[in-house]
Structure 1
Amino acid sequence: MEAHIVAIADTALTPYSFRIIAVGYLSYRYLKLNTKSKNHKNMNQITEDKLNKLLSFTDENVISRFMDMYNVSETEAQDILLETLKFLYISQISGIFIPDDLLILDEMWHNFILFTPLYQKFSIEYFNTPYFHHLPATKAEKTQRKEDMKINPDKAKEKYLKKLEFLLSTTYDYFGAETVEKWFKIYPEKYSKENIKKLRK
């Protein structure tokens, strides 16, 4: 039986000030790197040609529906879809999650999934799985995070920082400094929760 690939969507319950400190530190660290390791296991072996094809994927209906929901241009919607495709690729790696600052990618992913025949075909073609699943954090996981923050805030923040560091370093390894800057500096400001609400029609 063919295994189903699962990607996890998660949100971090951390203060805004902590996010700024964490992302500032990590961005400085990884934007200064000159080499990429790509020492990640459990990745679906997609050739460079196929990865380029994945990143050139688009669909007028997916874009159109997103523009129906949000006040963005077609160029902007295409850009968000491209970044979502990048995220889907690295989300094959255990430990990758969607922080609140990348909520706009989650919104595009939800939009894409609604076109179920297309999404299933996409899953088979690019990820060799009948359906590339999207699982949000469970109630138990969210409850546990809240408890951890109450019991030992410093330890909980350190744990989140390590998760964020892994996400950022993986992003850098596969897509470079430009994507790191977009995901961890530009998007958090341009597509904050408040701005997403304003963009929603």
Structure 2
Amino acid sequence: MQVNASARKVQDLKPFPDLQEVLQYENQNVVDGLRKALDITQETAQELFKEGVKWLWYCCHPDTKNSRNIDNAMLIIDEVWHTFILYTGDYFSFCHRYFGRYIHHAPTTAAEAAKQRAESKKDRMLRKRKQYELIFDILGKETFIRWYHEYPEIYSRENILALRRK
């Protein structure tokens, strides 16, 4: 228990990093891993990796609590995150270097999915709208358009499966 308490103290002391600083991070192993998993170009893999890093920064941003949900529009971001986590040493070091803690990937549980299904359409839309507005305000219009307009077209579930190397 003391280790967790100490980790929280370190995290609290660590200033939240600037997005541009975090986006300077590069990891060729993860880029190569994306290319090994998906039939994409080097440039596309590098772009996707940067978007995944951006998502991790967003997840740690103090204003985004309860607005960190990867929905169908962002499946490719989840794919990048899964790939990054496979390089556990690099992922661990990245998380601690920039955020002072490990960023856990927590898929939606069956209970959470049932709770979301039980929400009224209005409540569901309000929850999604809050995240959309935060992404727009914190990460900018270009990121919002990329994640919610371009990526759903390019990287739908079916398209990701078609890109997956056999």
Same fold (TM over 0.5): yes
Aligned partner of 2:92 in structure 1 is 120
Aligned partner of 1:85 in structure 2 is 53
Q: Does residue 1:72 correspond to 2:40, yes or no? A: yes
> Which fold has the larger relative contact order, with Cα–Cα distance below 8 Å and residues 6 or more apart in sequence?
1
Partner Cα separation in structure 2 for residue 126 and residue 56 of structure 1: 11
Aligned partner of 2:16 in structure 1 is 46
Shift of 1:159: 1.8
Shift of 1:53: 2.1
Paired residue type of 1:124: H
Partner Cα separation in structure 1 for residue 139 and residue 56 of structure 2: 12
Aligned partner of 2:133 in structure 1 is 169
Aligned partner of 1:184 in structure 2 is 148
Q: What's the C-alpha RMSD, in Å, of the aligned pairs?
A: 1.9
Paired residue type of 1:120: F
Shift of 1:144: 2.9
Q: Does residue 1:63 correspond to 2:35, yes or no? A: no
Report sequence identity in percent: 31
Which of 71, 77, 84 is equivalent to 1:99? 71
Paired residue type of 2:143: T
Partner Cα separation in structure 1 for residue 112 and residue 139 of structure 2: 29
Q: Are the counterparts in 2 of residues 91 and 97 from structure 1 also a CA contact under 8 Å?
A: no
Change (3 A) 1:47 1:63: closer
Paired residue type of 2:130: F
Name the SS of the counterpart of 1:65 in structure 2.
helix
Q: Which has the higher helix share?
A: 2
**What is the TM-score with the length of structure 2 in the denominator?**
0.85
Unaligned 5+ runs, structure 2? none
Change (3 A) 1:145 1:175: closer
Q: Does residue 1:157 correspond to 2:135, yes or no? A: no
Unaligned 5+ runs, structure 1? 5-41, 149-154
What whole-Å deviation, never above 9, does each CA across 1:44-93 have from its counterpart, x for those lacking one? 74243xx2121121211111111011011010011111111111111122
Shift of 1:165: 1.0
**What is the TM-score with the length of structure 1 in the denominator?**
0.71
Which of 76, 96, 105 is equivalent to 1:134? 105
Paired residue type of 2:148: F
Partner Cα separation in structure 2 for residue 68 and residue 82 of structure 1: 17
Moved over 2 A (4+): 44-48, 143-146
Change (3 A) 1:47 1:116: closer
Give the number of equivalent residue pairs.
153
